[in-house]
Amino acid sequence: MNESALSTATQPTQLGLALQRVRAAAEALDLPEALCELLCTPQRQFTVAVPVVLDSREQRVFRAHRVQYNTARGPGKGGIRYHPDVTLDEVTTLACWMTWKCAVVDIPFGGAKGGITCNPREMSPAELERLTKQYAREIAPIIGPYVDVPGPDVYTDAQTMAWFMDAYSTVVGHVEPAVVTGKPIELGGSEGRDEATAMGCVHTIVEAARHLELPLEGATVVVQGYGNAGSIAARLLGERGCRVIAVSDSRGGIYGADGLDPVAVLCHKAETGSVVGFLGSKEITNEELVELECDILVPAALENVITAENAPRLRAKILAEAANGPTMTEADPILADNGVFVIPDILANAGGVTVSYFEWAQNLGRTRWSRREVNERLEAVMKEAFAAVLRTSQEQNVGMRSAAYMLGVGRVAETMQLRGWRP
């Protein structure tokens, strides 16, 4: 094996990196080693075969997963993604993150995740419907409103959840809206769900700015990733008086020193397929974008965007992680040394799962809340969670990420011990 191959082979996986943070939190909390091992071990992992007849009449079998990482605090909660690169390791990592995320915002869910290895861009709506319904039937015995509640994720949406709910309802013999979240409003979906991840992130940014005594009026914002979360976060921050100076998507980025109109940029992307080419902007790369001088940097797309290599060149005051896992472990001490205030992903992007909890609660009670009520409840949850993480950070003299993991892991560990979940 050559040197580069050896180096690649010895690199920790994304799951390995996630578990490093869990172990560090468990050690800081002085938890018993056996309990730490339990916290680092997925509770259940399922892999199923999903047979589907394609439009061409060809029969295909897709590999699919559902991981329930830890359900000590409540039913598993986590989305379902459709992507060619879905693996059991990836799904387990995401389920692991969901466990601590739910605990940090103190909602009664455990962590779960699902995925199907497929290319949805090459499949017709009818094929995706058959795939979704067959997957729902395959995992129906291991999910349910009080067991495990899926939701949408990469390349899945409200329509996917409607199909899933229909198939599960057929299996159990009655309409069961509470089996999934992220549904269409007409089928029991919640007001405010589409904006929830971005809005939750913005609430944490507002609290961080208040803590740092950083005025939001005129504050400069850079957003890496202009999908649902990134574009809505840009708009919401713009409405609060911030100046969005750069945004990007997978094709590249744009910069405007005087500020960009987030809504106009989104319209341009809808028309052309990318933010690149927006009138009056300068084209920049994604790599250049994250190193721009700004008050607030919002990575809202890919994992591992901020590394030990580029972390020394980050010039943001606040790093708000709207994406899952955008910062590599070795970058954290560098950011801390440079005075970057990090709002970690398991806090910053927890708005989505929080409103999913609201949807689930509404479904169980067969009631419906107004958008105003949803948004007010979300703001209260995010403010309280931020305050709890900040308090832990100050009391333990650790960074915000370590504090968030200590809070989340500690809450899960306490519940496990109270319930008698001991090795």
Catalytic pick from 77, 113, 269, 317? 113
Helix H or strand E segment including 174 = none
Q: What are residue 60's DSSP bridge partners?
A: 52
Give Cα 213 to chain centroid, integer Å: 28
Whole-angstrom CA distances from 36 to 26, 107, 342, 379, 406 are 6, 22, 25, 32, 12
Both tokens assigned to 270: 């809808």
Is residue 95 within 8 A of residue 81, CB to CB? The reply is no
Give the strand pairing for 252-255 and 243-249. Answer: antiparallel
Both tokens assigned to 5: 């191959």
Is residue 88 within 8 A of residue 65, CB to CB? The reply is yes
Both tokens assigned to 369: 């809340």
317: three-class secondary structure by DSSP: strand
Secondary structure in 3-state letters for 1-59: CCHHHHHHHHCCCHHHHHHHHHHHHHHHCCCCHHHHHHHCCCCEEEEEEEEEECCCCCE
**Is residue 383 among the annotated active site residues?**
no
Neighbour-count burial for 55-73, b at 16+ CB within 10 Å, e otherwise: eeeeeeebebbbbbbbbbb
Catalytic residues: 113
